[in-house]
Amino acid sequence: MEIGGKEVVIAALCKGSGMIAPSLATMIAVVTTDCAISPPALQAALGAAMKKSFNALTVDGDMSTNDVVFALANGLAGNAPLSDPGPDLDRFTAALAAVCEELAKEIAADGEGATKVVEVHVSGAPSDEVALDCARAVAGSSLVKAAIFGADPNWGRVLASIGARAGTAGYPIEPAQAKVSVQSMEVYDRAPVAHDTSVLKARMREPEVRVAVDLRAGNGSGVAWGCDLTYDYVKINADYTSLIVPRPDGGVAKDDRLANYSPTFKQQLLVEALGYIRRFAGTRCVVKYGGAAMMKESLKKSFCDDIGLLRSVGLHPRWCTAADPRSPAPWKSSAASPSSWTASASPTPAISRSSRWCSPAPSTPTSLPCSIKRAVRRWAFPVRTAPCFAPASCKARGATSARSAR
């Protein structure tokens, strides 16, 4: 912006993800400017900016003891110092508020597990303060947030959160007289409003969802921001302390291995994974076999187990290797499970000038030849193009290519 004939810059950065709510939050923001401005004027401008930015933000309604916004000015722009009220100070304050509002929305978008930003605009309130308080109540409602995640235009939850807040604070508001819109489509106006549900649900899957409420109780208005409530938020916070481990240098790190999660989460993950894998039942998948897996007995066994798991969920695995085809097959390893393989089904690779091979996994009928890069053999065949373990260059005909088995 230009102030006093000089170009002035405002820059800012912030940190925030979870435990974000007005008053106290796990949030740090730093605003810098080269504007020449007195400390009292800067403090006043920053305080005014907070009301409609960071103080209008909620991710999960929880607060911590760490919450700060710094504003730093070095005066290098060379403008006449701002200290008294006037047009220049008003422009600076408006620009600072705009920057803080943008950061607040970015924090909402980056909330733990968030998939959508939620903007709640409340109008027709007895005052701006009441409007902002009601907007924060809607944005912070777990039921509203869950409905947003599920693309459910649940106007009842919106009005219930406003009614609860109004009743607690004694606001002269009658939620039943309000009008509610979601993504600019009316869903309630003193009574439920008919609307195209499929169209509205599709629009609610957009990355930003706007909820507007007209309380018809005054001229006050306010806007608050939040995010949806997802499965990932629960996952992140359910095992929080068990994932934090000390580092040798005295710091801490996150150990995010699946073994550290709760049994309930593992079961849910397994159910969802099997449901996903089931979609590929009856198709062929390609698994790379090479490197250390060809040398270590434990890895040979793991490879065999992986092939068995793929077959158990209905896939038809094929293995590819860049090694000499005369190298011992994994199922000939002493570590491999005898029940997983049959000697009669073990392929006997033919000698070829190519060093890249792809073979059906044991116990796969010989009547189902594998087609990869137009090279077809019954049990073992060369692939003379790109390495077949790369998904982009190795696909079974009409099937899905996979890198790993688990």
Q: Could you state, in order of their start, the residue ranges of all structural domains in the chain?
A: 1-111, 114-238, 280-382
Q: Which two tokens stand for residue 108?
A: 């909402």
pTM for the full predicted model: 0.59
- The angle subtended at Cα 167 by Cα 165 and Cα 169, nearest 5°, is 65
The one catalytic residue in 26, 33, 58, 230 is 26
Residue-level pLDDT at 389: 37
Residue-level pLDDT at 101: 93
DSSP class per residue in 204-270: TTSSEEEEEEE-SS-SEEEEEEEE---HHHHHHHHTTGGGEEE-TTS-EEE---GGGS-HHHHHHHH
Which of the 8 DSSP states describes residue 336?
A: S
CA end-to-end span of the chain: 55
Q: Which CATH architecture group holds 1-111?
A: 4-Layer Sandwich (3.60)
Q: Are 145 and 228 in contact (CB under 8 A)?
A: yes
Rounded Cα distance, 206 and 109, in Å: 12
Q: Which two tokens stand for residue 170?
A: 């004694």
C-alpha radius of gyration, the chain, whole number:
31
Range list of β-strands (E), 26-111: 27-33, 67-73
Q: Are 337 and 301 in contact (CB under 8 A)?
A: yes
Rounded Cα distance, 406 and 315, in Å: 12
Q: Which two tokens stand for residue 5?
A: 């004939």
CATH for the 114-238 domain, from 3.10.20.340, 3.60.20.10, 3.40.1190.20, 1.10.3720.10 = 3.10.20.340
Q: What share of the chain is helix, strand, coil (3-state, %, to 5)?
A: 35, 20, 40
Q: In 3-state terms, what secondary structure has residue 13?
A: strand
Exposed / middle / buried, residue 57 (Cβ in 10 Å: 0-12, 13-18, 19+): buried
Exposed / middle / buried, residue 62 (Cβ in 10 Å: 0-12, 13-18, 19+): middle
Residue-level pLDDT at 159: 97
Residue-level pLDDT at 357: 44
Which of the 8 DSSP states describes residue 32?
A: E
Exposed / middle / buried, residue 306 (Cβ in 10 Å: 0-12, 13-18, 19+): buried
Let me know if 385 is a catalytic residue.
Answer: no
Rounded Cα distance, 385 and 401, in Å: 16
Place of tokens 């007209």: 214
Instruction: With a cut of 50, list the residues of the chain below it in pLDDT.
Output: 326, 331, 333-359, 361-406
